[in-house]
Amino acid sequence: MKTDDATIIAQILAGETKEFRHLMRRHGGTLLACIESVIGSREEAEDIVQETFINAFRSLRQYDDSKASFATWLHRIAYHEALRRMKRRRLPTLSWDEDESLLKYAEEADTDDWLTDMTEEQMQRLDKAIDLLPEYDQMLLRLYYEDDMPLKEIAYILDSEASILASRLRRIRNRLRKELQKNR
Amino acid sequence: MKTSNDIKPKDDALRQLMHRRKERRPMIELPKEVEDRVMERISTMEKVSAPRVKAVQLWILRAMSAAAAIACIFFLVETMIPEEKEEPSNVVAKVEVPKPVEPEAELEKEQPKIAEVNLRPTQRKKPTPKTKTNVVASVEDVPLAEAEADVCIDCEMAAMDCELTAMINEFENQ
């Protein structure tokens, strides 16, 4: 029987620190994939995930399961670690506020008609359009569409607000629609 | 009422596409080397924190013991050392009993001094030659005056005794 995260955390806090390895095996892969898609480097992503788990162990007593799941909490730590490194290296940071490239898509209403009855060719073109998005937009799409994570949780990870993220998602969809119509 | 926070994505083409991308992506596992490095650092943290915690606890105990010792010493000092009582004042307010001095003699004694003090050098008069009439009572004459006063008192007492004796005799003879 698979032990849930809360039970393992309780064991670790009771002194059985070796159980922390189970948490790493459970969440490490997902975390690594997510960070790698943002950073673009496997080696850098592994360092970030390593620091994430060490910081998580240090802060384990402060973890509150009523606020977010353990996976979400880990993602939040990983995101801030990635942001810190990117700022230190003066790389383009994950700006979750206004993005000038997407501002022009904010005015148009978000309609989902274009996402219905898509042909395979259209799906492939959409796939390529997603690859051209900035890393942080891809991360938002992954968390929202792949992991089916509520906007409230994503806002907790990214230290933003759900309303801001909702607005950004609308703009991303509008941009993808424009790209799709452009390539017809 | 559902808010934008709770709404999940529609199962539209975009969501389906994202799921297809996820399935297409190879499953990544965290390398064992990363796991081992993390566990190694955790064990190091535990080794460092244990003696540090003990050292902190020991320091706290020592500080509390020292504070308790100081408090005890302070208490003992306050209670054992008697208060310094104020010595009762044996000095009685001295009441000056003026000597029974003839007022005239006193006045005559002070007058020449006052006369000398009050007068400025420019105002000082030439000293008048002493004559019999203007000779004031000197210090040597004071005991004589006192003796003469005492004699007068004795006389009066003697006179009173006589009167009293006479009265008694008269009474007895009645």
How far, in Å, are A89, A93, B11, B68 from residue B75 at the CA level? 63, 64, 80, 10
Please state the length of chain A: 184
Interface of A with B in 17-76 (CB under 8 A): 17-18, 20-21, 24-25, 28-33, 36, 46, 49-50, 53-54, 57-58
pLDDT of residue B14: 86
Q: Residue A173: its chain B contacts at CB < 8 A?
A: 14
Orientation of helix A70-88 relative to helix A20-39, angle to 10°: 50
Minimal CA–CA distance to A167: which of A138, A140, A129, A134? A140
Q: Which of B4, B15, B42 is opposite residue A151, by nearest beta carbon?
A: B4
Could B18 and A142 be called an inter-chain contact, meaning their C-beta atoms sit closer than 8 Å?
Answer: yes
Lowest mean pLDDT segment, chosen from A58-62, A116-120, A145-149, B39-43: A116-120
Q: Is A85 helix (H, G, I), strand (E, B) or coil?
A: helix
- Of B146 and A75, the one with more pLDDT: A75
| Rg, C-alpha atoms of chain B | 59
Mean pLDDT of B12-23: 84
Mean pLDDT of B134-160: 62
Cβ-contact A26, A5 below 8 angstroms: yes
Q: What's B101's DSSP letter? A: -
**Tokens at A73, concatenated:** 């909490």
pLDDT of residue B139: 47
pLDDT digits (tens, 9 = 90+) for B81-118: 776 655 555 555 555 666 665 555 555 555 555 444 44
Q: Which residue of A has its CA nearest to B13?
A: A115
Which phi and psi angles does B133 have, rounded to 5°? -75, -35
Minimal CA–CA distance to A82: which of A139, A142, A152, A22? A139
Minimal CA–CA distance to B108: which of B143, B141, B132? B141
- Per-residue pLDDT at A63 exceeds 70: yes
**Tokens at A63, concatenated:** 């973890």
Band (pLDDT 50/70/90 cuts) for residue A25 is very high
Orientation of helix A162-182 relative to helix A120-131, angle to 10°: 120
Q: How far is residue A154's CA from residue B81's CA, in Å, rounded to a whole number?
A: 72
Q: Which residue of A has its CA nearest to B6?
A: A150
Mean pLDDT of B13-42: 88
Q: What average pLDDT does the structure give for chain A?
A: 82
Minimal CA–CA distance to A34: which of A136, A139, A137? A139
Q: Is A16 helix (H, G, I), strand (E, B) or coil?
A: coil
Mean pLDDT of B67-94: 74
Alpha-helical regions (H) of B9-31:
13-24
Could B4 and A166 be called an inter-chain contact, meaning their C-beta atoms sit closer than 8 Å?
Answer: yes
How far, in Å, are A19, B101, B141 from residue B97 at the CA level? 104, 11, 23
Shortest Cα distance, chain B CAs vs residue A44, angstroms: 12
Kind plus residue range of the DSSP H or E element containing B170? helix B142-173
Q: What's A3's DSSP letter? A: P
Q: Which residue of B has its CA nearest to A32?
A: B30
Q: Is B74 helix (H, G, I), strand (E, B) or coil?
A: helix
- Geometric angle at alpha carbon B61, from B59 and B67, rounded to 5°: 100
Q: How far is residue A36's CA from residue A43's CA, in Å, rounded to a whole number?
A: 9
Shortest Cα distance, chain B CAs vs residue A14, angstroms: 13
User: Which residues 6+ apart lie within 8 Å of B108 measured at CB?
Assistant: B136, B137
- Per-residue pLDDT at B150 exceeds 70: no
Minimal CA–CA distance to A63: which of A102, A23, A32, A95? A23
Q: How many CB pairs under 8 A join A and B?
A: 102
Q: How far is residue A31's CA from residue A27's CA, in Å, rounded to a whole number?
A: 6
Task: Say what the pTM is.
Answer: 0.56
Is A184 in CB contact (< 8 Å) with chain B?
A: no
Q: Return the residue matching tokens 């210090």.
A: B139
